[in-house]
Structure 1
Amino acid sequence: MSVASDSWNWRCLLRLRDLAESFVKCNIGNGRAASFWFDNWTPFGPLIKFVGTDGPRALRIPINAKVSDACNSVGWILPSPRSDHVMRLHVYLTNINRPTDDKGTDSYEWMVENKICDGFSARRTWSVLRPRANLVDWSSSVWFKGATPRHAFNMWTANLDRLPTKSRLAAWGVQINTTCGLCSLLPETRDHLLLTCDYALYFIWNAVSSRLHLPQIVFGSWSDLISWTRVLNVRSPPTLRKIIAQAVIYAIWKQRNNLHHNQIYVLPSVIFKDIDRVIKNSITARRLNKRFRLLMSLWLH
């Protein structure tokens, strides 16, 4: 039980007790250390949860009793069962040996998926608490070694279509004009704002295609953008395309917010200069990485 004087870290650890108790298995020796009600020494887990809070009264075993307090030299000393749960407990106890001194002291083990760990295993415990989902096909386009963290996070949010665009805000009940502020033509959705808006398509993405000596880039959907980042091309390898895509998406979204919140409109030519600088800085910072070594010449060629 935590009190106001306990540190914040200790209170956080106390809140994890219910989560941790399923991993801690108590092996009964002499029964003098293990709690009868709170330790996980039976297949049913802590008995205070299995039998219920009325258990100490029903079984006539105090709440702070040890396992050894529930038996004597003859065997277990429990009253006749009056519930199905207590009956199951009786059946289990009659099929195991009672605690004795020749068994040594009680011991505790960390168990993950019914397998005993050699001490605490953070890796195996985490894999159970946070199981991995199947690898998605877009993961390498969002999370890759050398990505700029804020660009990758923004790309991840955009990929999940969770950017608070005007269309999404309106769907949440916000009374707002959904027209795109950058082109004033169509509703502001993710795909329109970042891919097909005149501001993005004809100025910024067109500038990217010119710099890479590629045909004009036209994305019909977000999946087309993700596919574009994975294309194998000697003049523009996937690593360079991922850096460019994330920098462009971040810059357009930043300009959208600047216009929406501050009413400041910046010419797309100026935005592309910022994108160009960001890409150069990203490559320069990772120039010792083998995958980044030739990217500057490809971007500037």
Structure 2
Amino acid sequence: MLNTDAQDRIVWRSREGTDMEYSTYVVWDDIRQVPDQVPWACIVWFPQAIPRHSFLMWLLVCKKLKTQDMMCKWRSAGNANYNLMCCSLCTSGPDSHDHLFFECEFASQIWYGVREKSGMRSIENTWEKILNHLLQHADSKQATHIIGKLVVGASAYFVWQERNNRLFSSKKRNAAQLIEVILMTVRMKLHTMKFRRTSHVNQVLLEWRLPRDLLMDQDKCG
């Protein structure tokens, strides 16, 4: 029997047979194919991440940055002489993902200048070793591991920015200046976060020169 007093509404019946209030989000989420989550997802996208750094990290992990070694494969396009390309940071040859992050002589100075602050003092300047370390702690909520992801993301972002600045403008910063910018950026981000009150976190705050009012009592941590 029809209920003439009730207002009509649109309902979406899901693949599982559940009636849900209709919306484009509900429909799309129900009909789309959902792939398995990639193991590096929590390295790129995590609550404390800096969005522009996450986007660059996503391209880096997928090896989708337009580095010179990739451009050298486009020899059929135009009359450009790709053999003349060289890394704008060290001028030792064409740049690549592995070269820029962080095997380049200039980029390696950046990595060795920030790795201790990221809790990766023993990790060498190769993307494979850095990525493997991050993957081992991808889901960790420990302050050092979150800071490690922030430092790597900031380092990659500013090395790529410096590379482009030198290619397309006369702007140039030395390694010490870039290290300072990276650490300052991460420190500013840490100022927006709250930390559990532990002896480990106390050491982190001291190392990053952060105020103790960023600490939360255990009963407020949820």
| TM more than 0.5 | yes
1:144-194 per-residue CA deviation (whole Å, 9 max, x = no partner) reads 111111111111111111111122223233624332111111321111012
Q: Mean Cα displacement is larger for which, 122-131 or 150-159?
A: 122-131
Equivalent residue number for residue 84 of structure 1: none
Contact 1:179/1:186 (<8 A) preserved? yes
**Aligned partners of 1:208, 1:114: CA distance in 2, in Å?**
50
Offset, 1:215? 4.3
* Percent identity of paired positions between Structure 1 and Structure 2: 23
Offset, 1:241? 0.5
Equivalent residue number for residue 182 of structure 2: 275
1:200-229 per-residue CA deviation (whole Å, 9 max, x = no partner) reads 11x111112344686454144x33222222
Q: Mean Cα displacement is larger for which, 250-259 or 177-186?
A: 177-186
Equivalent residue number for residue 265 of structure 1: 172
1:72-98 per-residue CA deviation (whole Å, 9 max, x = no partner) reads xxxxxxxxxxxxxxxxxxxxxxxxxxx
Offset, 1:285? 1.5
Equivalent residue number for residue 125 of structure 1: 27
Contact 2:111/2:125 (<8 A) preserved? no
After superposition, residues 1-301 of structure 1 pair within 5 angstroms as 110-113=12-15, 115=17, 117-120=19-22, 124-172=26-74, 173=77, 175=80, 176=82, 177-201=84-108, 203-211=109-117, 215=121, 217-220=123-126, 222-230=127-135, 237-286=144-193, 288-290=194-196, 294=202, 295-300=204-209
RMSD over aligned Cα atoms: 3.2
Going from structure 1 to structure 2, the CA distance change for 1:121 and 1:115 (only over 3 Å counts) comes to farther
**Aligned partners of 1:109, 1:268: CA distance in 2, in Å?**
59
Offset, 1:231? 5.2
Larger radius of gyration: 1
Going from structure 1 to structure 2, the CA distance change for 1:131 and 1:268 (only over 3 Å counts) comes to same
**Aligned partners of 2:174, 2:99: CA distance in 1, in Å?**
18
Contact 1:231/1:238 (<8 A) preserved? no
1:112-158 per-residue CA deviation (whole Å, 9 max, x = no partner) reads 33736243155542223433211111111111111111111111111
Unaligned runs of 5+ in 1: 1-106
Equivalent residue number for residue 218 of structure 2: none
TM-score w.r.t. structure 2 length?
A: 0.73
- Paired residue total: 191
Contact 1:258/1:264 (<8 A) preserved? yes
**Aligned partners of 1:223, 1:130: CA distance in 2, in Å?**
33
RCO greater where, 1 or 2, for CA within 8 Å and sep 6 or more?
Answer: 2
Unaligned runs of 5+ in 2: 1-8, 211-222
